[in-house]
Amino acid sequence: MSAILPPPERIWWNLPVGKEEIVWIALSLTWCLIMFAMMPLWHFYGKQNLSNEAYRITASQFEARTKAMADQYEVRTESAMNIPVVHPPAIGDALPNGETSTGDVYMLGRLWQWWPMLELEKDKSYRLHLSSLDWQHGFSLQPININMQVLPDYEMVLTITPDTSGEFTIVCNEYCGINHHTMLGKIYVKE
Ligand SMILES: [Cu+2]
């Protein structure tokens, strides 16, 4: 049989299916169903999902809250870029007015910086609020690899408990313009 002859008269879907083909279809269908079931299972048992919440907020509201926190809890500035380093109280810490802290800490993304820098304490919990003042940025905490999309008009709140002390760098991992590669931030975790 060659390609210059017309195809044989036959109805292909009435022909018997080869055994190998049936085996492959059964294998791929089984794998498909396993993967499908893993999506909800892994959501609950994989522990890779961040415990985050999202709220609507305007850029000016978020900027005002971030600035208020930075003004209140600034401990020093980093000489190179003059960015304040802020040491806010954690969830449950006693405040000077006798109340306990809700541990709300703020960090904003904008062209092209993460502001301010945070100094947190190991094994204490915080509610980290993230938003953007202009357009989309990506919060990527290195080297432990926490990733969040940071969008204007939305405030993402992550409940975090740093369990390792040291210096953690935040890089922007959503391309945001000519100085995207310089958009670096810092979180210090003290013992
Ligand atoms: Cu960015």
Task: Find the 163 Cα to ligand 1 centroid distance in Å.
Answer: 27
C-beta of residue 185 within 8 angstroms of C-beta of residue 115: yes
58 with 44, same domain? no
* Domain-terminating residue out of 33, 49, 65: 49
Total number of domains in the chain: 2
Whole-number pLDDT of residue 2: 64
Task: Find the 116 Cα to ligand 1 centroid distance in Å.
Answer: 15
C-alpha of 166 from chain center:
20
What residues contact 57, with CB distance under 8 A and at least 6 apart?
131, 153, 154, 155
10-residue mean pLDDT profile of the chain (191 residues): values are 74 87 97 95 77 90 95 86 90 89 94 93 95 95 90 94 94 94 93 88
End-to-end CA distance of the chain: 79
Indicate the SS3 state at residue 176: coil
Q: Which domain holds residue 84?
A: 52-190
121 with 154, same domain? yes
Task: Find the 171 Cα to ligand 1 centroid distance in Å.
Answer: 8
C-beta of residue 145 within 8 angstroms of C-beta of residue 171: no
Task: Find the 140 Cα to ligand 1 centroid distance in Å.
Answer: 10
40 with 127, same domain? no
Task: Find the 92 Cα to ligand 1 centroid distance in Å.
Answer: 32
2 with 86, same domain? no
Q: What is the 3-state secondary structure (H, E, C) of 28-43?
A: HHHHHHHHHHHHHHHH
45 with 81, same domain? no
Residue 182 tokens read as 């310089």
Whole-number pLDDT of residue 52: 80
Sequence length of the chain is 191
Task: Find the 133 Cα to ligand 1 centroid distance in Å.
Answer: 11
Task: Find the 51 Cα to ligand 1 centroid distance in Å.
Answer: 23
**Alpha-carbon distance values, 60 to 64, 66, 116 (Å):** 6, 10, 16
